[in-house]
């Protein structure tokens, strides 16, 4: 059976993390993702991210570009622009992640490309979007986490504003862009007309404020940092210290709280009027957390997690990355995939969580820069060696050696 996106071709003008993260899911689902890499700057900057980088390969690049193709193309030259436009005519979408004002300057918006393909979907993922006073500002995950209020509510109450340990805005915006692109493709195939998709890190981060943002807009709620990563209103829903480490409890319902009371061998607390309901536990949170803290520190993590899980209470130890990647669930779900690589030997990457149907694409390494230039030009554009040589002499593929 064909993969879900087999037959879809995406030209990706992308770099670093957010864009490549989004398009990698498309590639995993069967789309042909062709990275258009500028030879003047050595292609995607992700190829050179330390500490695990060698030449034009890095493990950072491998993390985001599995199963894609690479074409080196200097679109600033007439010959390079002509090849790009011919590729647009043979493709379904153009995906980019640049500043919001750059797509228009590069000539990759729908109004600029519809001449070559009326059904082309042009998806731009930028820091702040293609409109508004910040459209020309560069946007990075760390900066956006600060601007969007995330850092103000993350970390210990007595500590500084804190970012997430991962680039959550980048990756969430990558998902949003992939969704937008696929939605645009559906509409284009239905109507025969393409469009622009305008996705930004900032929009995504603001949207992900979700219920604290809605609480603030409607009730004046002021989010604050909470001790031990506690939920702003549900108790107990946080990390606790055990005798030998940390674990998380997420008792989001009254029935979970009753089970917690049984696990700590104080069943009477379940009906205590101070703690019996979600509202009373919130009102008496300091007293309840102090009580639970004294109990949990007396036994090791394994003791509590085993008993909480046995009681069907959402709970788990706080793993290191090393421990997380060796969790039995990771193995059972085939979340680590392998491919052969000319430099790294067998390179391991992390499988997409987007699973559609029973078929999965075999893992492939990320492409070398320009590795597929000849193949793509021959197969899609019918360019023979003479035509490629002429384009090369015109600078289409970068400076001549």
Active site residues: 170
How many angstroms separate the CA atoms of 131 and 101, rounded?
8
Angle 135-140-146 (CA atoms, 0-180°, nearest 5)? 95
Q: Pairing between strand 121-126 and 93-97?
A: parallel
How far apart, in Å, do the first and last CA atoms of the chain sit? 44
How many angstroms separate the CA atoms of 22 and 367, rounded?
17
Using DSSP's 3-state secondary structure scheme, residue 324 falls into: helix
* Cα 79 from chain centre: 34
Q: Are 124 and 103 in contact (CB under 8 A)?
A: yes
How many angstroms separate the CA atoms of 357 and 2, rounded?
10
Question: What is the chain's Cα-based Rg?
Answer: 25
Angle, helix 373-381 to helix 385-393, in steps of 10 degrees? 120
How many angstroms separate the CA atoms of 397 and 37, rounded?
9
How many angstroms separate the CA atoms of 208 and 63, rounded?
24
How many angstroms separate the CA atoms of 246 and 161, rounded?
22
Query: Which residues have CB under 8 Å from 281's CB, separation 6+?
Result: 234, 235, 236, 257, 274, 275, 288
């Amino acid at each position: 059976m064909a993969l879900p996106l087999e037959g879809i071709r995406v030209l990706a003008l992308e770099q670093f993390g957010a864009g490549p993260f989004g398009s990698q899911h498309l590639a995993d689902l069967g789309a042909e993702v062709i990275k258009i890499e500028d030879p003047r700057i050595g292609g995607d900057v992700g190829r050179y991210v330390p500490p695990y980088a060698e030449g034009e390969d890095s493990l950072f690049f491998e993390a985001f570009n599995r199963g894609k193709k690479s074409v080196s193309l200097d679109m600033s030259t007439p010959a390079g622009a002509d090849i790009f436009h011919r590729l647009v005519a043979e493709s379904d979408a153009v995906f980019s992640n640049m500043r919001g004002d750059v797509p228009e300057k590069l000539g990759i918006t729908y109004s600029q490309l519809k001449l070559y393909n009326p059904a082309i979907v042009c998806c731009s993922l930028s820091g702040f979007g293609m409109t508004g006073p910040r459209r020309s500002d560069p946007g990075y995950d760390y900066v956006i986490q600060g601007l969007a209020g995330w850092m103000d509510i993350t970390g210990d109450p007595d500590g500084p504003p804190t970012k997430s340990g991962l680039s959550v805005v980048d990756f969430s915006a990558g998902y949003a862009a992939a969704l937008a692109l696929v939605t645009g493709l559906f509409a284009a195939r239905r109507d025969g007309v393409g469009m622009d998709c305008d996705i930004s890190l900032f929009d995504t981060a603001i949207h992900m404020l979700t219920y604290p943002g809605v609480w603030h807009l409607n009730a004046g709620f002021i989010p604050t940092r909470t001790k031990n990563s506690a939920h702003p209103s549900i108790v107990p829903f946080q990390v606790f210290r055990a005798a030998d480490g940390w674990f998380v409890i997420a008792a989001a319902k009254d029935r979970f709280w009753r089970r917690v009371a049984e696990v700590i061998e104080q069943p009477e607390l379940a009906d205590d009027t101070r703690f019996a309901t979600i509202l009373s536990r919130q009102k008496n949170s300091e007293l309840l957390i102090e009580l639970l803290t004294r109990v949990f520190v007396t036994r090791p993590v394994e003791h509590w997690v085993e008993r909480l899980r046995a009681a069907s209470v959402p709970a788990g130890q706080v793993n290191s990355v090393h421990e997380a990647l060796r969790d039995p669930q990771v193995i059972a779900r085939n979340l680590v995939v392998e491919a052969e690589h000319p430099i790294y030997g067998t390179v391991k990457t992390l499988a997409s969580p987007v699973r559609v149907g029973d078929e999965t694409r075999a893992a492939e390494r990320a492409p070398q820069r320009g590795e597929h230039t000849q193949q793509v030009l021959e197969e899609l554009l019918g360019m023979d060696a003479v035509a490629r040589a002429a384009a090369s002499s015109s600078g289409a593929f970068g400076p001549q050696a």
